[in-house]
Structure 1
């Protein structure tokens, strides 16, 4: 145990609540814009995930399944609240921070509208999982307080196990579903990576987290290649857990 004990925190006071403003920590004013982009993108993603899960709950075949999806939707809404509170603490209007990401995120959801509740589950697990992996990768290059917040928001609280169990049960009962859902999963990965690339290209501040800026190191081209390889590998593992071919 270190003699330099960290200040006590509680569930009501997370470790990032009293963090310095990004940019003050590293002396780079542009860094605040980068963190604002990261949190804004995450916040809008959580808001859309909440809306999608609430919509998917209406398609669920039983009250048990509806209840489970409602709980997952509530979790996304809590994450949204945490992120918007952090943005406000930085002096940033949450809606302004989210607005640049509305077109890309909305386009992803419009192009991947599930036709039934099983497709909705696969999308929540596979499609959202790819986006979350992308933001985890970005969080490796931000300050400790922001990284702790991002990791906390992206932490799985049972969503994965629920999706895997239900999809596997459905395939066991009706094996022909596997082919259709596997094709759906492949479509999701393509759309999700396209969205991630679009966001990175269109937002210079967010891209600067990955590629670096004067006085702040980022990932080189080789590491960026490895990052996208990791995203693809994680997608394959998720598909395997669902009992689907990637």
Structure 2
């Protein structure tokens, strides 16, 4: 997406040009960052738990080990976020608490019934969340932005999931229809979750829709979710599934 001839990543004005020491002087911005890091931290902790649980569905020891490795990476990301919250004088458990019920409900509603559904969730569901947080990151101070982008690094989900899912579809094409429906359901639930995260927290929603320097306006929020949807369509194609 172009913004005045530049990509979103290139548009850094206001808070996005400041470091944490400068930006955190704005109490509303500071509250928004605590919310953001709290939501991310709980998301990483939940992802760790989920991947560890999904490993039980793995058909081979090699697959089980791969999921365990990805779960370990998610926990390391959680630890980074937890430590950063402590550094900025925010109690990590309290920062995560407002997001726990909604994220737990999301995972309850989207519990995979088998190995392949678990892979789709790890690839599609987590990628949608990552796309959302990367969009937000373009409006953060330089220190927080670097942390957020770092913990969003792919932990091996993509290539592993694509390889296994495409192989399963090649072996039995009928699997594709079921997995495509599952991915569409995940898309809807994940977008609803992202919207709830924003709507339920005043400071975070203010940062996104305007009211803080360098914030999104409402029209840009709509375009943001359109970009997330387009990225989902590309991931579906990579899996060999219709969007």
- The verdict on a shared fold, with TM-score over 0.5 as the criterion, is yes
2:189 is aligned with 1:191: yes
Aligned to 1:124: 122
Aligned to 2:87: 89
Give matches, 1:127-206, under 5 Å.
127-206=125-204
1:58 is paired with a residue whose SS is: helix
The answer as to whether partners of 1:57 and 1:66 remain within 8 angstroms in 2 is yes
Q: Measure, in 2, the Cα distance between the counterparts of 1:217 and 1:193.
A: 23
Give matches, 1:1-80, under 5 Å.
21=20, 24-25=22-23, 27-80=25-78
Q: Measure, in 2, the Cα distance between the counterparts of 1:50 and 1:95.
A: 16
Q: Measure, in 2, the Cα distance between the counterparts of 1:68 and 1:213.
A: 44
Q: Measure, in 2, the Cα distance between the counterparts of 1:48 and 1:70.
A: 14
- Measure how far apart 1:219 and its partner are: 1.2
CA distances 1:171-221 after superposition (whole Å, capped 9, x unpaired): 11111100000000000000001111111111111112212325x131122
Aligned to 2:13: none
- Measure how far apart 1:20 and its partner are: 6.1
Q: Measure, in 2, the Cα distance between the counterparts of 1:175 and 1:25.
A: 52
Which ranges of structure 2 fall in alignment gaps of 5 or more residues? 1-17
Distance of aligned partners of 1:45 and 1:26 in 2 relative to their CA distance in 1, 3 Å threshold: closer
Q: Measure, in 2, the Cα distance between the counterparts of 1:66 and 1:116.
A: 13
Q: Measure, in 2, the Cα distance between the counterparts of 1:140 and 1:208.
A: 15
Which ranges of structure 1 fall in alignment gaps of 5 or more residues? 1-18
- Measure how far apart 1:31 and its partner are: 1.3
2:219 is aligned with 1:227: no
Q: How many aligned residue pairs are there?
A: 226
The answer as to whether partners of 1:142 and 1:209 remain within 8 angstroms in 2 is no
CA distances 1:47-103 after superposition (whole Å, capped 9, x unpaired): 000000000000000001000000000000000000000000011111000000012
More helix by share: 2
The answer as to whether partners of 1:211 and 1:217 remain within 8 angstroms in 2 is no
Two-structure CA RMSD over aligned residues (Å): 1.4
The answer as to whether partners of 2:20 and 2:142 remain within 8 angstroms in 1 is no
User: For 2:236, which of 227, 235, 239 is the aligned residue?
Assistant: 239
CA distances 1:94-149 after superposition (whole Å, capped 9, x unpaired): 10000000121111101101000100000000011111111111111110110110
Q: Measure, in 2, the Cα distance between the counterparts of 1:26 and 1:152.
A: 20
Q: Measure, in 1, the Cα distance between the counterparts of 2:19 and 2:167.
A: 48
2:57 is paired with a residue whose SS is: coil
- Measure how far apart 1:223 and its partner are: 1.4
Q: Measure, in 1, the Cα distance between the counterparts of 2:45 and 2:222.
A: 30
Q: Measure, in 1, the Cα distance between the counterparts of 2:19 and 2:187.
A: 36
Q: Measure, in 1, the Cα distance between the counterparts of 2:74 and 2:130.
A: 12
- Measure how far apart 1:26 and its partner are: 5.6
2:23 is paired with a residue whose SS is: coil
